[in-house]
Structure 1
Amino acid sequence: MIFKYLIKNKKILLPILAIVSLIAGIFLSLYSSVIFQEGNPWPQIKGITQLTFGKSDIVKLSDSDNRYLTKSQGGPMTIEAFMKDRGYEYTDQMGSGYFYKSSDKTIVLTRRQYSRFYTIWTIAENNNNSSINLWTTITNDQGITFQYPKELLAKYVSVTGWPPVITIENGTYSCKTTPQEVSSISDITSQRMVDNRIYCINVKNESAAGSVYSSYTYTAARNNELVKVSFTLQYPNCNNYDEEQRKACTSEREAFDIDSTVDRIVQTVK
């Protein structure tokens, strides 16, 4: 009845259509970079619909055999349960890559953000077993032995101060965090929990030649001593790339997690 009424009263229908078109245009203008970041948006829209109205926490995207969609909140736990049901156990994380191993092969999962609310997971078989080969053991000049990854599984994040510098000091753990109201993007100290271990993290940022160089120092208490891990990463400005690379750079940056890598390094220190 309402539809027939609107058709007969074009003076009412046309303004409504104009308003709807305007809202749709504004929405596409504001969020087109997210909506079309994977090219054809329909597989993602279909997946979001299935997650929203279905009972599953993970759905396979219809345009691929190895891409899956989860909600960002709780996504890693969802994917871990998903892989465990298929006989894989989580073994490691490097940047935005997650390693899972079964009795006969290793699988690498990489994740990309699809807006703040959803994550796309790509599953690839790791024939080179790089989760093992990627890590190496070194003894530094102070006689400290530790393991570290020879490279990070990231295309748009580079290591410049590597391998990390490891020091062990006597002392009591404390962390004077930077108050939010006086924090500066160039020098921030924060405290974070990584796999039930507390770290005091200082980050100093410097901009140069289209990139940001971030110098990290992680401090953790262990056996009445303080273990410190220091290194520098280079983050290029994603806006300097063309549209396709910019989307890939931004997505990788949102998924990149160096905390887990540092935590594993600390656990190998002898």
Structure 2
Amino acid sequence: MKKILRWFLVPLLSFLIVIGAVAFKFSDTLFQEGNPIPILKGIVQLQIGEDLYVPIDQKQNRYIASNNPKEKQPYNEVKRYMGDKGWTFEKKLGNNLIFTKDQSKTVVKTVMYTSDYYIFDVTA
């Protein structure tokens, strides 16, 4: 019985130590936007699916999208999302994208999560 318990506990503890070390090393990146679980879930959905962007928080209108630095026009996913809602891209101010619709304006804030993904917040 002790031998079976040892064969179970040693790999389990080793696995937990490795996970803890990775989480500690990358904690600044993982926790920069609060709870990383919805963001990591969104990244997995982007990797396995065909979606251009994935919602990570429905209440706050937060989405995650892939970043392709080779694109000549960055933030195409945001522009497409807002275009589907009837908004027209006007200009970019820093990390903010300004959109217009009729006489109103709205700002979409973008944040680089990693070099491969960015988060955008829609305040419409």
For the criterion TM > 0.5, the same-fold answer is yes
Contact kept in structure 1, 2:60 and 2:121, CA below 8 Å:
no
Identify the residue that residue 44 of structure 2 maps to in structure 1. 49
Name the aligned partner's letter for residue 19 of structure 1: S
Structure 1 residue 116 displacement after superposition: 2.1
Aligned ranges for residues 186-205 of structure 1 at < 5 Å?
none
Q: Give the CA RMSD over aligned residues.
A: 1.9
Q: For the residues of structure 2 that align with 1:111 and 1:27, how far apart are their CA atoms?
A: 27
1:65 paired to 2:69: no
Higher strand share: 1
Larger radius of gyration, structure 1 or 2?
Answer: 1
Return the alpha-carbon distance in structure 2 between the equivalents of residues 63 and 26 of structure 1. 32
TM superposition shift of 1:53:
2.1
Hey, what does 1:91 align to over in structure 2? 90
Q: Distance in 2 between matches of 1:58 and 1:52?
A: 11
8 Å CA contact retained: 2:110, 2:118: yes
Alpha-carbon distance between aligned partners in 2 of 1:63 and 1:124, rounded to the nearest angstrom: 12
Q: Kindly indicate whether the alpha-carbon contact (under 8 Å) linking 1:112 and 1:119 is maintained by their aligned counterparts in 2.
A: yes
Superposed counterparts of 1:1-270, under 5 Å: 9-62=4-57, 64-73=59-68, 76-125=75-124
Q: Across the two proteins, how many residue pairs are aligned to each other?
A: 118
- Measured in 2, the distance between the counterparts of 1:99 and 1:77 equals 13
Moved over 3 A (4+): none
Secondary structure in 1 matching 2:75: helix
Gaps of 5+ in 2: none
Q: Deviations over 1:35-74 (max 9, x none)?
A: 1112222221222222122221111113533211111226
Higher relative contact order (Cα pairs below 8 Å, separated by 6+ residues): 2
Cα separation, 2, equivalents of 1:66 and 1:105: 19
Deviation at 1:34, TM superposition (A): 1.4
| TM-score (structure 2 length as normaliser) | 0.82
What is the TM-score when the length of structure 1 is the normalising length? 0.40
Residue pair 1:43, 1:63 contacting (<8 A) in 2 also: no
CA offsets 1:121-172 (integer angstroms, 9 cap, x no match)? 01124xxxxxxxxxxxxxxxxxxxxxxxxxxxxxxxxxxxxxxxxxxxxxxx
- Aligned residue type for 2:118: T
